[in-house]
Chains A and B, each alone.
Chain A
């Protein structure tokens, strides 16, 4: 599913968090929002998901204007930095949640839910943990459960907010590779927010560099590396590469 963002504005008080952002994302792309903390990249992602509403501007999902729609109508798969798993539910129930709350006419049968959740547990390589609680899992395992939970409702777009931010370097690299492979197989349109350049350059088809709520440069990793960006981009990249 393609995503279209048209001149989006959002301020918190006098502080402009997102400043006139226009962006087009093709179906099947994996795009990284890269920028320093406080640059407005998370706010932008949350506006796309419908968790935050812009002051001005529009969001289109596959040509359909979803600007006035709330997050539960947009149903973008969202993965939080801190996992946001339901701590009082088992892993099985966490993953099944989106299926259980579906409107009556569209709800899957119990057998189908069981089947779907078990196959997702295979996908995230955690079979046999269905009856555990989130507190009994490691950080990397929890984040994989969060992935499975978001994927269970078969979203047409996946939004990831610093998905590996809370994990240690080794698990980070493993999960990053896993995500790249998953995207290779499914070609699910995916946006992810990161402040880690290595992550952005390794996983993304295109990188959007953001600072002060505005887009500084958009391009493939190679284009960005070629040094065609403005002063901010050059300084920001030079700091880390």
Chain B
């Protein structure tokens, strides 16, 4: 029997014999080291840079900050970022719902190919994402001569920037919906169908309410990426400050021009947008949890009634 004595809880140790030691529990020192490493990296790579960004913006005083946010070029870059996100996010939301619907509801040939294609932007460098549009719509591209003849400007203009951002943010909504819709199955939709509901009614009354939190999450992720995209946009934008610069591109320009406080000012504005996004996401998760718990609580009602 001696060999069966719990080595973590030897006789005579101060731990009580009935303490449950789970098989997955690590010794305390390992836990401490692991948590320590995580906290260290969190500070070094996430929190510290964020603090430095805000500090860098404020280092020359509030005056520079005020100046930065009255600068026409900088204001224009904020405007460009918002407009690119405003077009890209709804487009990719519509696409994401359609793609998730098609992939999870129908079995067609080429379904696997479509699934792989949705992921493509995650696999290739964003620079390539920008480059393909230059090769297609640029002056020397496939459609270049035709576009030029009709005086349509795509590359080095807003349409190209929207296209490149759309490419990069393509997978986010679809990706957050596909596993959810796969898990939920189609029975509720089928039931609605036999009750006489049309396709649009089913989408509005059954499918969208079922997927709303997943959808919200995907949209927010897509938005965060659309506002922060650098690589793809930098290829198709001519990087003309005051014309085709988004916030990330403007930050680079200011930095290269040694205008550090201004660069950090724009960077902190972008960081604030990201923090707002993060806040919304957390709020959505809380609300989701609150609704779930409210549902759980009302589960107890029958028992209370029965007791009376």
Contacts and interface: CB of A to CB of B under 8 A. Distances in A.
Interface of A: 49-51, 70-72, 74-78, 80, 82, 84-88, 97-98, 101-102, 132-133, 135-136, 146, 149-150, 152-153
Contacts of B195: 72, 75, 97-98, 101, 149-150, 152-153
Nearest to A46: B190
B198 A84 contact: no
Contacts, number: 76
18 contacts: A71-B193, A72-B193, A75-B195, A78-B191, A80-B187, A84-B188, A84-B190, A84-B191, A85-B191, A86-B188, A88-B209, A98-B197, A101-B197, A133-B298, A135-B299, A136-B295, A146-B191, A153-B195
The dominant DSSP class at the A interface is: loop
In the A-B complex, the 10 residue pairs with the closest CB atoms: A98-B195, A84-B187, A78-B194, A101-B197, A84-B191, A71-B193, A88-B209, A101-B201, A72-B193, A71-B194
Contacts of A135: 295, 299
B192 A88 contact: no
Interface in B177-206: 187-188, 190-198, 201, 205-206
The dominant DSSP class at the B interface is: helix
Contacts of A75: 194-196
A30 B217 CA distance: 48
Given A86-B206, A133-B295, A153 B190 contact: no
B10 interface: no
B192 A97 contact: yes
Given A98-B195, A153-B196, A82 B190 contact: no
A77 B191 CA distance: 9
Contacts of A98: 195-197
Given A80-B187, A133-B295, A135-B295, A70 B193 contact: yes
Interface string B223-264: 000000000000000000000000000000000000000000
Given A101-B201, A135-B299, A136-B299, A80 B191 contact: yes
B302 A72 contact: no
Interface in B253-308: 295, 298-299, 301-302
Contacts of B139: none
